[in-house]
Chains A and B, each alone.
Chain A
């Protein structure tokens, strides 16, 4: 883990500007077994220092691939020079955001590193289980993936601190063939925040999830195409989380609001049914650690929760310090960079639609003719809130009961229209944290949601 060698350099911060100095290390570990063949076996550690200077709305940023006191001095000088140099070309002249407080945020966790042989052995054990128990699969892939961020932040007028974000996952992918010889696939992610030993010391704990994945794949082998059109669906928790992140979350990032997103003219207006409340959690959900806890951002803002939608009314945006000043809101720790080369930009942390009162069974039983959409492989949305989610796992619902499995399809809609159709919400939330959000830079984010009954446009042949 990073040692604090940069704290003594704050005396080099220039007067009359806001400066943040950040030491940052990213680590990754990767093992891939494809049908038992070890096709990837790699580790990587990258560290460096950056500085960002805000000179009244014109920003300078510089980074160097060294974690040394000398590099800290260089980046402070270079970022300050960049801010001044750009000022000659920029018409920006904004007041500097006021300080939201100063202090020190303590280290939140430790990164524990496992040896590569432990990772490989665990993957082999999992792969061996699948090979032995399910020989009828046409292919199987077991991936161990781990990344961690370790950052030390010093600021001119905000909080300093040390934050680590380790996460690790096992992805299991299975392929089978339909009776017509057409391949079908499913995958599942295991793991979450923490290190190898937190999740994978006992590979047998993965087996029930693997068995469930196989059962769903066998259902999918007999699957049918969804009928295209505007349908009543029950969105599973993973789909709910994707909706919270992609379709709503991005439109309420203040930099996209400034760019003209649909959230701009809808602040304090109804954008969803009154069953929908959505929060970007910082580090704690319901008294327990959030999927990927964030205690401090890369502008030195202490992380707090942001309520984005309350009872269907759009109530807030996610901000950095500059946009918070612009919109008259309080910054809550959303400005983050992925590596030492990245300037902080507005990112989600743990975005979630809160649970309601119904059970999942009640939701399914209430649908006469529709679909139960369980898992998504990916999703995208744009400024208008028009979204697309790939659906990799789902079932028909006929007369309140699950029918045939679905082959891969896609759903789309306009978020603030679709959320107004939500008329039942389940009482439990599930979280995922294995993906990356892409927005100039990648970022690890958590997303969660309950099951929801709503109307949505589904694609199909």
Chain B
């Protein structure tokens, strides 16, 4: 069934069932994916998929159901299951859908790929790595093109439609000198054109350089308190852990957030500004609408270290009496700083530049403890060798209050825009 036909059919069933309040989301997608293993083209994968999701309200009760069958029978089943779930739910007036937002068509990325060109670019990448980085092994690499057409509609008169597509390229690499092999490293990038060699995009070249320099890591002895320079991917991870721990629905609703009453107050160093911006030109497929039906907006969560708002859904906002944030995406944009990465490194007496944090989601107290992977020791303003079996320990809230500096350079990987962030007061320990 075509998308709009399926949407109209769903409207019809829901009205038949005398359901007066509902919202739904339908998506038809296609993926073309080339899988490379150990430098060889191994698998070509084609995926045609659908997603259906219906949210039904019966008074103040709500339930939802989903599936992928975009047939009359499949859509009827989803409606029946959503209705049954709503009938079983508890009364809760805080569940709601956004006021009417009108209709809007969103186009993102490109819709028609040039797969032959993409394969050429991937071949070029593999050849370049073999020539310039002979120690590096491309264990796995995936080049994919994803195309989507989705539609969301609700009974407040909102209808959003999205059409788009993007290329994505990722690598999983290690390096070896014939005797020793490094651990794994990963990176990836989303893009809408194939104008540049893949090796020059995002931070792919930095990852290749770093893994090449990691074949003979050293084990640190003892522990010290020092500076952690978070590479952009790692910084994004730390930021999302922080947002999840301090300002998301769960911790605000249950009252366990340590930033529960901190809106308007300084919670981080004044160098830190964090924005969610689905309309930033460097982000390819930013969020268009939220699950509850708001048109997504640019939202600044932390400005010059001051917490501007909690990051609440419509439900979270209604439950706590706080403002809703009309963005539930991951379109992270962190404002760059005034120092180069080189200057940041030069300012550090002792610390690490960390490629990847291997650790769990910290508890609500913000304490983190994990392994510094793909990381290098910094001493007296200079990068020394790679380290292994090295742990980093600290507190998320404290770390962002002790920002030494933020780099001018930013990583744009098609999904976010993030600089290097140097934080002080981290306990770094070896064996």
Contact = CB atoms under 8 A, between A and B. Distances in A.
Contacts of B38: 258-259
A102 interface: no
A116 B62 CA distance: 12
Measured as residues with beta carbon below 8 angstroms from the partner, the interface class of chain A is 35 or more
B139 to A, nearest CB: 4
B373 interface: yes
Nearest to B392: A459
B417 to A, nearest CB: 26
Contact of B41 (A47, A58, A261, A386): A58
A37 B256 contact: no
Contacts of B237: none
B65 A138 contact: no
Interface in A383-441: 383-384, 386, 388, 390, 407-410, 412-414
A39 interface: yes
Given A139-B256, A377-B360, A48 B37 contact: no
Given A138-B254, A258-B38, A410-B371, A82 B88 contact: no
Nearest to A414: B389
Contact of B88 (A89, A120, A228): A120
A358 interface: no
Interface stretch (A7-15, A62-70, A206-214): A62-70
B65 A44 contact: yes
Measured as residues with beta carbon below 8 angstroms from the partner, the interface class of chain B is 35 or more
A41 B358 contact: no
A228 B77 contact: no
Contacts of A38: 89-90, 92
A382 interface: yes
Contact of A185 (B37, B44, B140, B364): B364
Contacts of B46: 61-63, 78-79, 82
Contact of A83 (B44, B64, B389): B44
B137 interface: yes
B303 to A, nearest CB: 26
B202 interface: no
A343 B362 CA distance: 33
Contacts of B176: 260
Contacts of B48: 63-65
Contacts of A407: 367
Contacts of A380: 358, 371
Interface of B: 31, 34, 37-38, 40-50, 53, 62-71, 77, 81-82, 84-90, 92, 94, 119, 123, 137, 139-140, 172, 174, 176, 181-184, 223, 249-250, 253-256, 258, 315, 319, 358-365, 367, 369-371, 373, 388-389, 391-393, 427, 429, 431
18 contacts: A37-B90, A42-B64, A43-B66, A44-B66, A45-B77, A65-B50, A85-B44, A89-B41, A120-B90, A124-B90, A138-B256, A139-B256, A175-B364, A258-B37, A341-B49, A408-B362, A410-B360, A460-B427
Closest 6 CB pairs of A and B: A390-B360, A117-B88, A259-B139, A382-B183, A139-B254, A90-B41
Given A41-B88, A43-B81, A228-B393, 16 more contacts: A38-B92, A41-B62, A42-B66, A43-B85, A86-B34, A115-B84, A183-B364, A229-B431, A259-B38, A259-B137, A343-B43, A380-B358, A382-B184, A384-B181, A412-B371, A460-B429
